[in-house]
């Protein structure tokens, strides 16, 4: 009886370790894509920031755009993402123009921020015709 309990305990511990290792592998598979998401969010945050003057904003956007281009290349070359059945990966490639701002912008001959504004349907005409006020 004691022998059977030890085997059951060993099998249970082995199964738990296996499940934990699967979670670590899945987290590592999405590492590059999650970093890209954070870098893109930082670029957009800097663009929308009211705390930066024009020159500071331009310098930061150029730096962030270079970093984002590197991150996009890493994601596009990451073979692990191809074998992942994640909705995050599926959505990232389905929404290519919003995920890969630098690359999609280069294809359209525009900056990453212009690409983002275009993908969320914000144009100069819409901004200029907007009225300031409370809603």
Across the range 31-41, mean pLDDT stands at 91
Who has greater pLDDT, 119 or 14?
119
Q: Calculate ∠ Cα 79-85-90, nearest 5°.
A: 80
Within 8 A by CB and 6+ apart from 68, the residues are 36, 39, 40, 43, 101, 102, 112
**Residue 72 pLDDT more than 70?**
yes
Query: What pLDDT score does 28 carry?
Result: 61
DSSP 6: H
**Residue 13 pLDDT more than 60?**
no
**pTM check: above 0.75:** no
Burial of 72 (0-12, 13-18, 19+ CB in 10 A): buried
Query: What pLDDT score does 4 carry?
Result: 40
Over residues 57-70, the pLDDT tens digits come to 999 999 999 999 99
Could you tell me what percentage of the chain is helix, strand and coil, using 3-state DSSP and rounding each to the nearest 5? 80, 0, 20
């Amino acid at each position: 009886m004691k022998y059977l309990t030890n085997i059951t305990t060993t099998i249970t511990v082995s199964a738990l370790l296996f499940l934990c290792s699967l979670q670590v592998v899945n987290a590592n598979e999405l590492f590059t894509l999650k970093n890209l998401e954070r870098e893109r969010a930082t670029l957009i945050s800097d663009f929308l920031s009211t705390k930066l003057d024009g020159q500071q904003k331009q310098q930061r956007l150029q730096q962030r755009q270079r970093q984002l281009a590197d991150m996009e290349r890493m994601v596009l070359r990451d073979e692990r993402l191809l074998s992942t059945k994640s909705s995050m990966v599926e959505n990232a490639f389905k929404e290519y123009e919003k995920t890969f701002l630098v690359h999609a912008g280069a294809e359209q001959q525009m900056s990453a921020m212009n690409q983002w504004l275009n993908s969320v349907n914000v144009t100069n005409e819409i901004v200029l015709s907007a009225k300031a006020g409370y809603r």
